[in-house]
């Protein structure tokens, strides 16, 4: 543990952000997996696209990765 007060605070805040990011990324993966399943309805795909956009906006995933995932979901939904 650091000795400087600001460094202690950075450790605590970074741990909290790490937990929040881990949870959000896990939820994102779950929604994408559900949308990719056979027989997934349009509402599930739309929810996954919304989650991908939110994750890209928050910086959890890169914007190009978000575009790639959305493209794949749309391609599978239209097939």
Indicate whether 10 belongs to any domain. Answer: no
Indicate whether 39 belongs to any domain. Answer: yes
pLDDT, averaged in runs of 10, over the chain (79 residues): 94 96 96 90 94 96 97 91
- What's the token pair of residue 31? 């929604």
Indicate whether 2 belongs to any domain. Answer: no
Domain of 44 in residue numbering reads as: 25-78
Indicate whether 36 belongs to any domain. Answer: yes
Give me the number of domains the chain comprises: 1
Indicate whether 45 belongs to any domain. Answer: yes
Q: Would you state the pLDDT for residue 24? A: 96
pTM assigned to the model: 0.84
Q: Would you state the pLDDT for residue 38? A: 82
Q: Would you state the pLDDT for residue 36? A: 93
**Residue 59: which region, alpha, beta or left (left: phi > 0; alpha: psi -120 to 50)?**
left
Contact 36, 73 (CB under 8 A): yes
């Amino acid at each position: 543990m650091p000795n400087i007060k600001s460094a202690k605070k950075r450790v605590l805040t970074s741990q909290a952000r790490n937990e929040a990011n881990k949870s959000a990324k896990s939820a994102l993966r779950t929604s994408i997996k559900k949308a990719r399943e056979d027989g997934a309805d349009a509402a599930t795909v739309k929810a996954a696209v919304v989650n991908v956009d939110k994750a890209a906006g928050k910086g959890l995933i890169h914007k190009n990765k978000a575009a790639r995932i959305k493209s794949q979901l749309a391609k599978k939904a239209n097939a």
